[in-house]
């Protein structure tokens, strides 16, 4: 079976603690503070201690056009992606020419040529490498990227895939947007990049086997999560009912997925869930009858890095692999939610 061999991550240079972000936002919106005061506890209740951004906070709270934000995305995402990929290559004693296929995932910036094309030049990847840019899957994008790589490797068992996900969510903050959704996003979102090496079963690498994947689409839910594209940039859409959807749907969806592999939740020893926020994680714990420790990695990554959209689940995967190199039995479940509204899940052998 195809396998996940290694993960490497990178974060931008500006590290900010959550208290500082709250103070800066409070000051920025001081003229409307009476209206927003009831929403400020979002920052202290977000379960986040620190986050990382590609630009300093005083730049973030200034007004910018969509063109300015996007130009910043292309520059910073290319450099950050290259940093994560270079780290992955060095740690695994590889050459950039070893990869057959590159998949690039993001939802926070636009680029044509896409970032993967820029990385081929910057990293020195092969001229005949296959490539697929994936845009618009939001927080589900990292898990979906793993699934795309898995399906490619089923048909190319000798292949090696470089999956890169890079999100610069801070660039989507709109200085003049006083909506609840903008405040929630400002309290949650962060920036970072992850590079993943996946290989087919004919490649002599050790790794975690991918047993199967599942995509689930929820009809008539387009308004749950996404962007409105406005002249200033990308305006976030967040529905308050996301935790309710998890409580109502997660148990059945995951049970159905595991049943197709003759498994149940009692067979899962590792839960690698994208932490969309504290309410989402608590909804998973309720729906699946989990204790707080079973989602410890998700809580820890949320606290240390915030919500990096598609990238976050790959940060969780990296930490799990680093902490569990000697384990050789059991199953793990990767799950993330995204615009559509949809979920992406993957069953792995750990």
Q: Both 24 and 103 in a single domain?
A: yes
More confident residue, 263 or 26: 263
Under the banding of pLDDT at 50, 70 and 90, the label for residue 34 is low
Range among 86-90, 185-189, 233-237 rated most confident: 86-90
The reported pLDDT for the residue numbered 340 is 81
- Mean pLDDT for 6-35 is 85
Range of the domain at 72: 3-199
Nearest to 166 by CA among 298, 320, 56, 11: 11
Q: How many domains are there within the chain? A: 2
Band of pLDDT at residue 77, cut at 50, 70 and 90: very high
Average pLDDT of 68-86? 96
Say yes or no to pLDDT of 261 above 70.
Answer: yes
Q: Are the CB atoms for 54 and 191 separated by under 8 Å?
A: yes
Q: Is 342 a catalytic residue?
A: no
Q: Indicate the average pLDDT of the chain.
A: 89
- For position 37, what pLDDT does the model report? 72
Q: Identify the pLDDT of residue 54.
A: 93
Phi (first) and psi of residue 332, to 5 degrees: -125, 155
Q: Is the pLDDT of residue 349 over 60?
A: yes
What is the average per-residue pLDDT within 142-169?
Answer: 97
> Which one from 22, 139, 169, 342 is the annotated catalytic residue?
139
Pair 237, 213 in one domain: yes
% the chain with pLDDT above 70:
95
Mean pLDDT of 29-58: 81
Q: pLDDT at residue 296 above 60?
A: yes
Q: Which of 79-88, 173-182, 230-239 has the highest mean pLDDT?
A: 79-88
Contact 169, 129 (CB under 8 A): no
pLDDT, mean of residues 96-112: 94
CATH number at residue 222: 3.40.47.10
Among the three residues 179, 199, 219, which one is the final residue of a domain in this structure?
Answer: 199
Domain boundary among 199, 216, 246: 199
More confident residue, 218 or 104: 104
Q: Check whether residue 184 and residue 326 sit in a common domain.
A: no
Query: Is the per-residue pLDDT at 69 higher than 70?
Result: yes
Nearest to 62 by CA among 170, 166, 167, 169: 170
Question: What average pLDDT does range 62-90 have in this prediction?
Answer: 94
Angle between helix 278-288 and 242-259 (nearest 10): 40
pLDDT, tens digit, for every residue of 117-132?
Answer: 999 999 999 999 999 9
Q: What is the mean pLDDT of residues 120-145?
A: 94
Q: How confident is the model at residue 235 (pLDDT cuts 50, 70, 90)?
A: low
| CA count, 13 A, side-chain hemisphere, 80 | 28
Same-domain status, 118 and 155: yes
Predicted TM-score (pTM) of this structure: 0.93
**Can you give the three-state secondary structure of the chain, one letter per residue?**
CCEEEEEEEECCCEEEEHHHHHHHHHHHCHHHHHHHHHHCHHHHCCCCCEEEECCCHHHHCCCCCHHHHHHHHHHHHHHHHHHHHHHHHHHCCCCHHHCCEEEEEECCCCCCCCHHHHHHHHHCCCCCCEEEEEECCHHHHHHHHHHHHHHHHHHCCCCEEEEEEEEEHHHHCCCCCCCHHHHHHHHHECEEEEEEEEECCCCCCCCEEEEEEEEEECCCCCCCEEEEEECCEEEEEECCCHHHHHHHHHHHHHHHHHHCCCCCHHHEEEEEECCCCHHHHHHHHHHHCCCHHHHHHHHHHHHHHCECHHHHHHHHHHHHHHHCCCCCCCEEEEEEEECCCEEEEEEEEC
Top-confidence residue, 85 or 170? 85
Average pLDDT over residues 28-37: 68
Asked whether residue 39 falls in the same domain as residue 154, the answer is yes
Does residue 193 sit in the same domain as residue 236?
Answer: no
In this model, does residue 177 exceed pLDDT 80?
A: no
pLDDT for 330: 87
Please give the span between the terminal C-alpha atoms of the chain, in angstroms, as a whole number: 13
Q: What are phi and psi of 344, to 5 degrees?
A: -125, 130
> Model confidence over 186-215: pLDDT tens digits?
888 999 999 999 999 999 998 999 999 999
Pair (143, 69) in one structural domain = yes
Question: Does residue 227 sit in the same domain as residue 92?
Answer: no
CB 339 within 8 Å of CB 226: yes
Instruction: Say yes or no: 44 and 185 in one domain.
Output: yes
Domain boundary among 199, 230, 262: 199
Residues 261 and 237 in one domain: yes
Cα angle 202, 145, 68; round to 5? 140
Same domain flag for 100 and 174: yes
pLDDT of residue 244: 81
Note whether 169 and 187 are same-domain residues: yes
């Amino acid at each position: 079976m195809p396998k996940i061999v290694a993960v490497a991550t990178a974060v931008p240079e500006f590290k900010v603690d959550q208290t500082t972000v709250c103070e800066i936002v409070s000051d920025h919106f001081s003229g409307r503070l009476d209206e927003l005061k009831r929403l400020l506890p979002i920052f202290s209740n977000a379960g986040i201690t620190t986050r990382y951004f590609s630009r300093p906070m005083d730049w973030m709270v200034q007004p910018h056009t969509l063109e300015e934000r996007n130009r910043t995305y292309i520059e910073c995402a290319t450099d950050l992606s290259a940093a994560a990929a270079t780290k992955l290559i060095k740690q695994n004693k590889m050459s950039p020419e070893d990869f057959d296929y590159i998949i690039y995932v993001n939802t926070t910036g636009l680029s044509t040529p896409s970032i993967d094309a820029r990385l081929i030049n910057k990293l020195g990847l092969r001229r005949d490498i296959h490539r697929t840019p994936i845009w618009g899957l939001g927080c589900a994008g990292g898990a979906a990227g793993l699934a795309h790589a898995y399906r490619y490797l089923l048909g190319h068992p000798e292949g090696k895939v470089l999956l890169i996900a890079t999100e610069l969510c801070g660039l989507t903050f709109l200085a003049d947007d006083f909506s609840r959704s903008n405040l929630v996003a400002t309290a949650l979102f962060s920036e970072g990049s992850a590079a993943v090496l996946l290989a087919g079963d004919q490649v002599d690498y050790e790794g975690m086997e991918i047993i199967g994947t599942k995509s689930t689409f929820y009809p008539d839910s387009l308004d749950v999560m996404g962007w409105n594209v406005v002249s200033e940039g990308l305006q976030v859409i967040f529905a308050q009912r996301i935790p309710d959807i998890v409580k109502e749907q997660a148990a059945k969806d995951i049970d159905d997925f595991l049943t197709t592999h003759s498994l149940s939740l009692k067979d899962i020893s590792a839960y690698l869930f994208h932490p969309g926020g504290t309410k989402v994680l608590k909804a998973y714990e309720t729906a699946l009858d989990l204790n707080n420790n079973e989602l410890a990695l998700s809580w820890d990554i949320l606290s240390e890095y915030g919500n990096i959209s598609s990238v976050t689940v790959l940060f969780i995967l990296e930490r799990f692999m680093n902490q569990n190199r000697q384990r050789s039995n059991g199953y793990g479940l990767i799950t993330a939610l995204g615009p559509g509204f949809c979920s992406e899940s993957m069953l792995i052998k750990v």
